[in-house]
């Protein structure tokens, strides 16, 4: 294992799968653990800065765009080559206003059908040996255009940075859900009936406790946080509350296998997802850190970003059951995902 891999692990630059492999290697190999500790000590100042920016990403300083445009304009004024106007000549603004006032309006006067009064010829400009007095006016107009373009470019740049940051957070959340899918499949592999953790038991009383169980059983890396890793506003993912059987017993989801009936065990059933968006949230509580977008993990392993909560097997709301309640589904295909503290 190279130092580059360990540095990527320290700075959280690896894919979740690669990071999990290195975490296992560090725990099982003292030599690798010693190398990691040495690298951590050497990179301590950089790690502190990276951790601070991860917890509180820096925002552009207030007024940055305006100050930048002003600096660009100042640079152009100071460095743009200009010929000095001879003494005694009028300013560019005065010359422009004088010429505008003296120029006759271009209006065609109709004397009859098909007849127009001829325009008087424009007077010739007075002879002069000095530079064009309107050069300064053109320069000012060019300066304003350049400043406007610079201001627009900075606005687009800042908007692009905000969009890129949003996309980065959404992708980080999707990768975290894929890691969670690996842990859920590991749990199902060890269950005789291929079931996932079931909420409403003594071990998992509420929806937010399932990830801690997966970590405890070794199906997730130690220290895994069950929430969007790029946002402190997402403390946990939602998780399936199961459904009610024919005798009103609580039943958890089961992973489909070769003998499963698609009507009973559907790999398009949502099992965990982001917190609901504010427009989809049932009642108060935390909402999605991605605005209107919610990343949903399905039993089949597919992660899908969506702006609508109606992505259940039959287009039902994944945060409420068919009765509109945050509770276990009314039947096997009634998907319901609960937030922190929610019970079946």
Q: Return the sign of the alpha-carbon dihedral for residues 217, 220, 221, 227.
A: negative
300 against 45, higher pLDDT = 300
| CA 256 to the chain's CA centroid | 33
* pLDDT exceeds cutoff 80 at 295: yes
Q: What is the mean pLDDT of the chain?
A: 76
Q: What pTM, to 2 d.p., does this model score?
A: 0.54
Shortest CA distance to 196 belongs to which of 118, 93, 298, 52? Answer: 298
The pLDDT value given to residue 270:
94
322 Cβ neighbours under 8 A, 6+ residues apart = 316, 329, 330, 331, 334
- Neighbour-count burial for 243-261, b at 16+ CB within 10 Å, e otherwise: bbeeeeeebbbbbbeeeee
> 298: helix, coil or strand?
strand
Q: Kind of pairing, strands 294-298 and 303-306?
A: antiparallel
* pLDDT exceeds cutoff 60 at 114: no
Shortest CA distance to 269 belongs to which of 320, 204, 326, 318? Answer: 318
Q: Mean pLDDT, to the nearest integer, of 165-192?
A: 84
The pLDDT tens digits of the residues spanning 159-168 come to 555 555 656 6
* pLDDT exceeds cutoff 50 at 2: yes
Rounded distance, CA 62 to CA 11, Å? 29
Q: Distance of CA 189 to CAs 11, 222, 244, Å?
A: 32, 19, 23
* pLDDT exceeds cutoff 50 at 36: yes
Q: Mean pLDDT, to the nearest integer, of 87-108?
A: 54
146 Cβ neighbours under 8 A, 6+ residues apart = 72, 73, 76
The pLDDT value given to residue 53:
61
The pLDDT value given to residue 31:
84
Q: What pLDDT band is residue 320 in, cutting at 50, 70 and 90? A: very high
Rounded distance, CA 92 to CA 178, Å? 66
217 against 263, higher pLDDT = 217
25 against 90, higher pLDDT = 25
> 170: helix, coil or strand?
helix
The pLDDT value given to residue 265:
63
Is 143 in contact with 77 (CB distance < 8 Å)?
A: yes
The pLDDT tens digits of the residues spanning 228-270 come to 776 676 778 999 999 998 899 999 898 887 776 666 667 889 9
> DSSP states of 233-297 as a string?
T----EEE--EE-TTS-EE--B---TT--TTTS-TTSEEEEPPPPTTT-SSSS---TTTT-EEEE
Q: Mean pLDDT, to the nearest integer, of 74-82?
A: 63
* pLDDT exceeds cutoff 70 at 293: yes
251 against 18, higher pLDDT = 251
Rounded distance, CA 1 to CA 14, Å? 14
- Give the whole-number percent of the chain exceeding pLDDT 70: 61
> 116: helix, coil or strand?
strand
Q: What pLDDT band is residue 111 in, cutting at 50, 70 and 90? A: very low
Is 74 in contact with 66 (CB distance < 8 Å)?
A: no
């Amino acid at each position: 294992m190279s130092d580059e891999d360990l540095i990527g692990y320290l700075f959280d630059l690896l894919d979740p799968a690669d990071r999990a492999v290195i975490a296992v290697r560090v725990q099982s190999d003292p030599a690798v653990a010693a190398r990691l500790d040495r690298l951590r000590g050497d990179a301590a100042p950089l790690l502190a800065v990276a951790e601070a920016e991860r917890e509180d990403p820096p925002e552009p300083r207030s007024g940055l765009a305006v100050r930048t445009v002003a600096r660009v304009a100042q640079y152009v004024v100071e460095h743009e080559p200009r010929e000095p106007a001879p003494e005694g000549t009028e300013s560019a603004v005065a010359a422009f206003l004088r010429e505008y006032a003296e120029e006759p309006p271009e209006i065609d006067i109709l004397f009859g059908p098909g007849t127009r009064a001829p325009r008087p010829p424009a007077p010739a400009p007075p002879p002069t040996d000095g530079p064009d007095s309107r050069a300064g006016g053109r320069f000012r107009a060019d300066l304003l255009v350049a400043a406007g373009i610079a201001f627009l470019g900075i606005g687009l740049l800042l908007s692009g940075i905000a969009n890129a940051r949003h996309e980065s957070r959404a992708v980080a959340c999707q990768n975290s859900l894929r890691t969670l899918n690996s842990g859920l499949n590991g749990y199902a592999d060890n269950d005789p009936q291929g079931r996932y953790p079931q909420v409403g038991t003594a071990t998992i009383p509420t929806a937010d406790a399932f990830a801690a169980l997966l970590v405890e059983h070794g199906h997730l890396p130690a220290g895994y946080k069950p929430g969007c890793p790029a946002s402190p506003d997402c403390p946990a993912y939602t998780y399936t509350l199961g459904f009610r059987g024919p005798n009103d017993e609580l039943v958890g989801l089961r992973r489909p296998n070769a003998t499963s009936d698609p009507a009973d065990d559907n790999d398009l059933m949502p099992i965990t997802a982001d917190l609901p968006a504010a427009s989809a949230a049932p009642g108060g509580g935390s909402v999605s850190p991605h605005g209107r977008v919610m990343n949903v993990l399905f039993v089949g392993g597919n992660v899908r970003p969506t702006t609508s909560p109606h992505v259940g097997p039959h287009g039902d709301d994944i945060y409420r059951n068919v009765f509109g309640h945050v509770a276990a589904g009314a039947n096997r295909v009634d998907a319901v995902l609960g937030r922190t503290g929610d019970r079946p």
